[in-house]
C-alpha cells in the first residue's frame, strides 16, 4: 500500500512523464501547407525540391521552417518566402505573380520595320498590350537593310498611360546593294577600257575580246541587279 505522500509523488511523476511525451510528440509532428497563386499553374519548390504546380492543397510537411519558391514562366516572375509550419495546423499562402502590363503602339515609315525591346517583339504597324511595365530602349529597324536604324532610350511603358511611337526612318545613302552595283560598274568600265586599248595594238588585238566579253557580262549583271 502507498502512503499518501508516495501517491502524491507517483502522480506527479506520471504528470511530468506525460507532459514530456506529449511535448516530444508535438515537436516531431506534421502540419500542412496550402499555396495558391495568381495566375495559377506556377511551379512550386519546397526546400529546393520541385513539388508540382499551384494550387498546392494541404501538403504535409514536418513542423519547422521551410523555404517556398514559386516561378511562373509565362509572367517571367518568381517568389521566395520562408514559412513556419506548426504541428496539426494548416499554413496558407496566396502569392500574386501577375505583372503589371502596359500598351505600346509603334508605327513607322516604311511599314514592316522590325521593333526591338531587347528582343524582337514584332513589325510595324505594331500594337502590343502585354509589355511589362518599366523603362526600355526601343529600336526600330527598317526592312531590307535600306534604312538607318532608330533607337529611343528611356521609353517608359505604363499600365495607365499607353505609349505611342511614330517614326520616319531615313534611307541609307549607300546600301550593300549600292556598293555592289558600283563595283560592277567600275569593273565593267575597266574591262572595256583595257579591251579598247588592246584593240589599237595589232599584236594584242585578239586579247581585247576577253575584256570585251567580261565588260559586257559585268554590265549585264549591273542591269539585272537593278531589278531586285
Q: Which of 166, 164, 161, 38 is nearest to 102 (CA)?
A: 161
The CATH number linked to 79 is 2.60.40.10
Provide the pLDDT for residue 11: 46
Mark the ranges of the chain whose per-residue pLDDT is less than 70: 1-28, 75, 173-182, 184-185, 188, 191-192, 194-215, 218-228
The domain that holds 152 is classified in CATH as 2.60.40
| H-run or E-run covering 135 | strand 134-141
Q: Which domain holds residue 60?
A: 29-96
User: Would you say the C-alpha torsion 208, 210, 213, 216 has a positive or negative sign?
Assistant: negative
- Cα Rg for the chain, rounded, in angstroms? 39
What integer pLDDT is reported at residue 24 of this predicted model?
A: 44
pLDDT of residue 33: 96
Residue 123 in domain: yes
Q: Is residue 63 part of a domain?
A: yes
* Beta bridge partners of residue 140, listed in sequence order: 115, 150
Q: What pLDDT was estimated at residue 180?
A: 67
pLDDT of residue 139: 93
The reported pLDDT for the residue numbered 225 is 56
Quick one: pLDDT at residue 48? 94
Task: Tell me the whole-structure pTM to 2 decimals.
Answer: 0.43
Considering its fold, how many domains does the chain have in total? 3
* Long-range contacts, stretch 173-182, CB < 8 angstroms, 24+ apart: 175/145, 175/146, 176/145, 177/146, 177/225, 177/228, 180/225, 181/222, 181/225, 181/226
**Sign of the C-alpha dihedral, residues 45, 50, 52, 57?**
negative
pLDDT at 14: 44
Statement to judge: residues 37 and 77 lie in one domain = yes
So what's the pLDDT on residue 210? 64
Please write down the long-range contacts of 43-47, taking CB distance under 8 Å and 24 or more positions apart. 43/70, 43/71, 43/72, 43/73, 44/68, 44/69, 44/70, 45/69, 45/70, 45/71
Residues 6+ apart with CB under 8 A from 61: 30, 31, 32, 33, 46, 85
Is residue 5, in this structure, part of any structural domain at all? no
| SS3 label, residue 82 | strand
The reply to whether 203 falls in a domain is yes
Amino acid at each position: 500500500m502507498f502512503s499518501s505522500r508516495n501517491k502524491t509523488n507517483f502522480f506527479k511523476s506520471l504528470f511530468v512523464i506525460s507532459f514530456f511525451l506529449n511535448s516530444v510528440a508535438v515537436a516531431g509532428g506534421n502540419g500542412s501547407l496550402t499555396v495558391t497563386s495568381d495566375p495559377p499553374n506556377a511551379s512550386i519548390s519546397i526546400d529546393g525540391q520541385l513539388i508540382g504546380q499551384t494550387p498546392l492543397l494541404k501538403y504535409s510537411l514536418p513542423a519547422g521552417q521551410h523555404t517556398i519558391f514559386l516561378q511562373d514562366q509565362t509572367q517571367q516572375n518568381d517568389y521566395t518566402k520562408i514559412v513556419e509550419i506548426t504541428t496539426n495546423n494548416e499554413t496558407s499562402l496566396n502569392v500574386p505573380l501577375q505583372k503589371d502590363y502596359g500598351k505600346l503602339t509603334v508605327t513607322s515609315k516604311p511599314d514592316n520595320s522590325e521593333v526591338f525591346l531587347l528582343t524582337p517583339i514584332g513589325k510595324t504597324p505594331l500594337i502590343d498590350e502585354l509589355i511589362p511595365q518599366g523603362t526600355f530602349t526601343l529600336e526600330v529597324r527598317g526592312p531590307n537593310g535600306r534604312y538607318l536604324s532608330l533607337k529611343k532610350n528611356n521609353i517608359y511603358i505604363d499600365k495607365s498611360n499607353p505609349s505611342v511611337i511614330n517614326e520616319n526612318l531615313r534611307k541609307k545613302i549607300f546600301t550593300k546593294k549600292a556598293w555592289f552595283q558600283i563595283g560592277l560598274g567600275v569593273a565593267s568600265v575597266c574591262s572595256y577600257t583595257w579591251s579598247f586599248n588592246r584593240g589599237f595594238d595589232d599584236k594584242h588585238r585578239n586579247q581585247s575580246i576577253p575584256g570585251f566579253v567580261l565588260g559586257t557580262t559585268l554590265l549585264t549583271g549591273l542591269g539585272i541587279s537593278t531589278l531586285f
